[in-house]
Amino acid sequence: MRFVHAFAAAAACAVLLPSAMDAQDQEKARAVAGGGISVPGWTGKIDANEEKAGQVLDNAKLSGDPKSLSVTTGPAVAYWNPANKAAGDYTVKATFTEAKYMNLNDHPHPYGLFIAGNDMGTADQSYLYCAAYGSGNFIVRGFGPAPFQMNGRRGEANAAVHKAAGPGEPVTQEIAMTVKGDRVECSINGTVVGGYDKAALVTAGKLKSTDGIYGIRFGHNTEATVTGLAMTKN
């Protein structure tokens, strides 16, 4: 009898857990006061599902300057300068600082870099991004133009990803994306956390090429600064 009760309880948890996780996914994006883009030369585009929900680009905020970008979201968004392009073998890197972990949300949200941007700003845009959470997890995903995942729906934990001491505490992540030969890798805080064959990325439904625009990518309801965004040839 105890076994039956335990099994029933476990089954109930199995049903409830995905529902709770889905509820997090469905959390509505807030509208940022004074939103918009004030960094010269930069532009952006929110996710298609955010647009369908009635969100607009001005509901997120990009300010500062190219050396120190401040982002507050709002809807999930990619920001870029069309002049920032990379081709062949290269590395794009930047440092992300979440001054107050989970300041605008009640669960971790990601932020990171994107590369291989093509048709940016259109419904057909494609790119690959690697993003970190202040909880110690990371995700590698993209748009082609439909969303695709490279390390699962929830990403994965890695000891290299810094963890905030708690809500409201600071956490910093150094993120780099490298294209070299037939491989694409994401490094966080100096450690390669994910690597993929180029053939698995440049294919139908994913990327058009690993050449393209690079920039930054933020989940919804998130706040951080970005410094040292740069590209170097390998």
- Interval 107-135: pLDDT, tens: 999 999 999 999 999 999 999 999 999 99
Contact 53, 29 (CB under 8 A): yes
pLDDT tens, position by position, 67-86: 999 999 999 999 999 999 99
Is it the case that residue 185 has pLDDT exceeding 80? Answer: yes
Q: Distances in Å between the alpha carbon of 54 and those of 49, 58, 72, 152, 220?
A: 9, 12, 18, 28, 14
Buried-exposed string 30-45: b where 16+ CB fall within 10 A, e elsewhere: bebeebebebeebbbb
Query: Rg of the Cα trace of the chain?
Result: 18
pLDDT tens sequence across 16-58: 333 333 334 568 899 999 999 999 999 999 999 999 999 999 9
Q: Give the largest Cα separation in the chain, rounded.
A: 68
pLDDT of residue 153: 84
CA 190-195-199 angle, 5° bins: 150
- Position with higher pLDDT, 187 vs 20: 187
Report if pTM > 0.95. no
